[in-house]
Amino acid sequence: MTKEISKDDQDWLDALSGKSPAGIDPFNSAQALAVRKALVARRNAIERDAISVGGSGLDEIRARLQREGLMEPAEPGQLKTGWWHRVKEVLGVGSVGRGMNVAPIWGVAATLVLAALVTFQIYDPQPDEASIYRGGPNTTTLIVENPELRANEIVAGIEKLSSDGVEIVRLKDGSIQLKIKDSQRVQDYLLAQRIEAIPVEGMIRIDVVPKRK
Partner 1 sequence: MITAIKSGGRQQELALQALYRKAAEFRRHFQYKGLSIQVTDDLIQETIVKIFRSASSYSGGSGFGDSSANAWMWTIAKNVMNDHLRGKKTDEVSIDDEELGEASRSALEVELANKNPHKAAGQTAQDCVTKGLEEFAAAHPDRHRALEMQLDGEDIASIGRRIGRTAAAAKEFLSQCKKKLAPFIEHCTALLQQ
> What residues make contact with partner 1 under the rule CB under 8 A?
2-3, 5-6, 9-10, 12-13, 16-18, 27, 30-31, 34-43, 45-47, 49-53, 57-58, 60-62, 64-65, 68, 70-72, 74, 78, 89, 94, 101, 104, 106-111, 113-114, 117-118, 121, 123
Strands 139-144 and 203-210: parallel
Contact 42, 24 (CB under 8 A): no
Report helix angle 7-16 to 26-49, nearest 10. 40
The DSSP call for residue 121 is P
Give just the sign of the alpha carbon dihedral 45, 47, 50, 51.
negative
CB of 27 to partner 1, least distance (A): 6
How many residues make up the chain in this entry?
A: 213
Q: Residue 108 or residue 161: which is nearer to partner 1 going by CB?
A: 108
CB of 151 to partner 1, least distance (A): 15
Q: Residue 79 or residue 197: which is nearer to partner 1 going by CB?
A: 79
Instruction: Measure the CA–CA gap between 171 and 67, rounded to whole angstroms.
Output: 44
CB of 133 to partner 1, least distance (A): 27
Taking the CB of residue 48, how many other CB atoms lie within 10 A of it?
15
CB of 180 to partner 1, least distance (A): 22
Q: Residue 93 or residue 198: which is nearer to partner 1 going by CB?
A: 93
Query: Ramachandran region of residue 92, left (φ > 0), alpha (ψ -120 to 50) or beta?
Result: left
CB of 61 to partner 1, least distance (A): 5
CB of 72 to partner 1, least distance (A): 5
Q: Residue 132 or residue 171: which is nearer to partner 1 going by CB?
A: 171
SS3 content of the chain, % helix, strand, coil (to 5): 45, 15, 40
Q: Residue 110 or residue 200: which is nearer to partner 1 going by CB?
A: 110
Q: Residue 94 or residue 210: which is nearer to partner 1 going by CB?
A: 94
